[in-house]
Homo-oligomer: A and B are copies of this chain.
């Protein structure tokens, strides 16, 4: 059998570990071959490939990034290129395609699957917003880095009686903010799922200092936003898909809090450090198991599916279900966390 593999969307620790796992499982356990498409869907559209064997994936387990490269492609290009992609796959004799990516990549995978291409998807998202799987690789690494950084900020905030806001990733789902906030003992956690009331946030800050607390640490998901009308918001333009962007939420909230509370506020935007570098052991294990089970599924003909973590087991779920909706923070999980703030 011949397996095609590609990595789509943003960078994520564990991508290389998945590639290694697919290649080792396919070649060692099944005697199959693997071909990689470069720079995500673009490599499939433009027929740019690289052969992948065991020596080629040596050392990839611990390396961040993706050796195949990745690039974003507009959805309409993918629709238009369906025929081209099918032709390229046929030309290379690819029996099953294994795309690794987030919502966009898996939606494209679903599209190809509907068009008759045998596909097994592997979910990848720093933000943990893909449905039907307990977790995805990369998320634990992102939360670990954010937590380590917030741990460091605690002591400096304490010494100077400051408010420190940390902006973490999470455009549509607040999982990173939620977990890092809980893990690092933040006093405030703002997520996209529940717009915040600036007056209420300012009150929490003032109450803490009034009680004699030395500092306030707030974790703010990049996609968090104020309740309409409670705070002036600078225009962030539109993103590549035409959606309106509200950028720099932590910075803007910080300026507003300084004005309202008179306290010194400092803001740190973690940015890309959350998605680079070696994966945690948790993510390496998950990525390796995803790769292994996707390869087994490909060989057993279980296509049109996505591998998913359910409890301690890796299961297969229909691609259609996985892309039906984003997995956002539930009210009960949010309530659980907020019980630890204030």
Residues of chain A at the chain B interface (Cβ within 8 Å): 10-11, 13, 15, 21, 24-25, 28-29, 61-66, 69-71, 134-135, 140, 143-149, 151-161, 164, 179-180, 182-185, 266-273, 275-278, 280-282, 284-285, 288-289, 292, 310-312, 336, 339-340
Which residue of the partner chain B has the closest CB to A154? Answer: B276
Q: Is the CB of A152 within 8 A of B273?
A: yes
CA distance A17 to B301 in the complex (A): 46
Residues of B within 8 A of A266 (CB): 271-272
Residues of B within 8 A of A180 (CB): 281
Q: Is the CB of B281 within 8 A of A147?
A: yes
CA distance A325 to B275 in the complex (A): 40
- Looking at A151, A280, A281, A284, which has the most chain B CB atoms within 10 Å of its CB? A281
Q: Is the CB of B184 within 8 A of A281?
A: yes
Q: Is the CB of B147 within 8 A of A273?
A: no
Which residue of the partner chain B has the closest CB to A161? Answer: B69
Residues of B within 8 A of A182 (CB): 284-285, 288-289
Ordered nearest first, which 8 A-B pairs have the shortest CB separation? A65-B155, A152-B277, A64-B155, A152-B276, A183-B281, A156-B276, A147-B281, A65-B159
Given A179-B281, A281-B184, A152:B156 Cβ within 8 A: no
Which residue of the partner chain B has the closest CB to A310? Answer: B311
Which residue of the partner chain B has the closest CB to A215? Answer: B65
CA distance A156 to B28 in the complex (A): 27
CA distance A160 to B7 in the complex (A): 12
A176 to chain B, nearest CB (A): 10
Q: Which residue of B29, B144, B152 is within 8 Å of A339 (Cβ)?
A: B29
Q: Is the CB of A159 within 8 A of B280?
A: no
A251 to chain B, nearest CB (A): 10
CA distance A179 to B288 in the complex (A): 11
Sample of 12 more A-B contacts, CB < 8 Å, known A65-B159, A183-B281: A29-B339, A61-B184, A65-B156, A70-B160, A135-B312, A144-B280, A144-B282, A164-B272, A180-B281, A266-B272, A268-B273, A280-B282
Q: Which residue of B15, B272, B282 is within 8 Å of A282 (Cβ)?
A: B282
Residues of B within 8 A of A273 (CB): 149, 152-153, 268
Residues of B within 8 A of A160 (CB): 10-11, 69-71
CA distance A295 to B144 in the complex (A): 26
Q: Is the CB of A63 within 8 A of B155?
A: yes
Q: Is the CB of B156 within 8 A of A275?
A: yes
Which residue of the partner chain B has the closest CB to A279? Answer: B183
A244 to chain B, nearest CB (A): 21
15 A–B contacts from the bound complex (CB under 8 Å): A10-B160, A28-B339, A62-B151, A66-B159, A144-B281, A151-B277, A152-B273, A152-B276, A179-B281, A182-B285, A182-B288, A269-B269, A280-B280, A288-B340, A289-B336
CA distance A164 to B269 in the complex (A): 14
Residues of B within 8 A of A13 (CB): 155
Q: Is the CB of B272 within 8 A of A269?
A: no
